[in-house]
Structure 1
Amino acid sequence: MHIRPARPDEAELLTKIALRSKAYWGYDEAFMAACRDELTVDAATIGRIHAVVAEDGERVLGFATVVGAPPQGALDMLFVEPEHIGRGIGRALLDHVREHAEGLGFRRLLIDADPNAEPFYRAMGATRIGSTPSGSIPGRELPLLALDLAAETAAQA
């Protein structure tokens, strides 16, 4: 497996991965329909943000995107093909994004996490700092997490 920049022509593929990955948690069709716009990857956006894919040969296994400007940005998306969840792909993507963001001068990444993904992000060093309204489901709150990059560097030194 290796990680490389995402290409604009992969937008539809990445959208499909995001939808399959979200559905992995057992959400019903109505919920998934409500999330569709928020999980759609736009080809034009790929060129303006940091977007990477993890691939094995020619198959894309997952992807991640970071938005914003230093010192604080956001891990906007991190999705892995359902059959590969739990195999280290999410960890590899997050490690890559963390290193890249830190190199660009980011000191913190915020994460609006799916509640099912919160344990993963916490295991990766993020802390819960509150909650945020869902962009798709009125009345639903999502865990708001922070991944402090400067603290990660200090801990590794």
Structure 2
Amino acid sequence: MQIKALAAATGVDVETIRYYEKQGLLPAPARRSNGYRDYETVHLERLAFIRHCRALDMPLADVARLLGFIDDQPGASPDASAVDALVAEQLNRVRARLKSMQALEKQLLQLQSRCDGRHENGRCGILNDLVAAAHGEACACHAHPA
């Protein structure tokens, strides 16, 4: 199949497919006599694997490591502890981002509390706080800079 058909079948952009090839995540396909790439089922399956890993927000380096486990041991199970450690690292990254997002949510809620909805004299508590923060002053969502 041509690259457009592979892209359509996997939902991965053509440029992304080419990038994955350049990075060595996808093996180079055979070329037709007209020079077009000729992708096979193996490319489709590998690209679907990559896409699934990326949907789990795994960095490409980790995806490459997982593919390496698959490539190094065809038909055999990879080192389970290494695969588990890689997933555990990703889980730790996700948990750290969740914690960061919860802190961000708290800051935004604090900022939002500055708005009483009246805006008398054209003054908005949210905008006042954001302007104050831009001047290095304390605002509702951040402690005063040290």
> TM-score, normalising length from structure 2?
0.23
Of the two structures, which has the highest relative contact order with CA contacts closer than 8 Å and spacing of 6 or more?
1
Task: Compute the TM-score of the two structures, normalised by the length of structure 1.
Answer: 0.22
Higher strand fraction (1 or 2): 1
- Larger Rg, first or second structure (1 or 2): 2
Structure with greater proportional helix content: 2
